[in-house]
């Protein structure tokens, strides 16, 4: 049996706040996780893997941050 790599590998999907994580980072991570899981549930596992073939973490690291304050 071949085990596939998770598209969420390297992403902290835990609801708990990490020991070395400040509150603002914790809130931002929870919002990000919510959005990721929302897309995952909407499109399904197969399409999500097609959208992020190398995983979500790589896609997030290559995407420039957007300022949402405007």
Residue 70 lies in a domain: no
- Write out pLDDT tens, residues 2-53: 667 788 888 888 999 989 999 999 999 999 999 999 999 999 989 999 998 8
Q: What is the pLDDT of residue 66?
A: 62
Which positions ≥6 away from 40 have C-beta within 8 Å?
48
Residue 52 lies in a domain: yes
Residue 69 has pLDDT above 70, yes or no: no
Residue 1 has pLDDT above 70, yes or no: no
Which positions ≥6 away from 58 have C-beta within 8 Å?
52
How many distinct structural domains can be found in the chain? 1
pTM score above 0.75: no
Residue 4 lies in a domain: no
Residue 15 lies in a domain: no
Residue 8 lies in a domain: no
Q: What is the pLDDT of residue 61?
A: 81
Residue 44 lies in a domain: yes
Residue 39 lies in a domain: yes
Residue 67 lies in a domain: no
């Amino acid at each position: 049996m071949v085990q596939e790599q998770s598209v969420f590998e390297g992403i902290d999907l835990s609801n708990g706040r990490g020991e070395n994580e400040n509150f603002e980072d914790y809130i931002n991570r929870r919002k990000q996780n919510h959005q990721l899981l929302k897309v995952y549930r909407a499109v399904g596992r197969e399409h999500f893997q097609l959208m992020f073939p190398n995983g979500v973490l790589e896609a997030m690291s290559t995407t420039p941050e957007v300022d949402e304050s405007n």
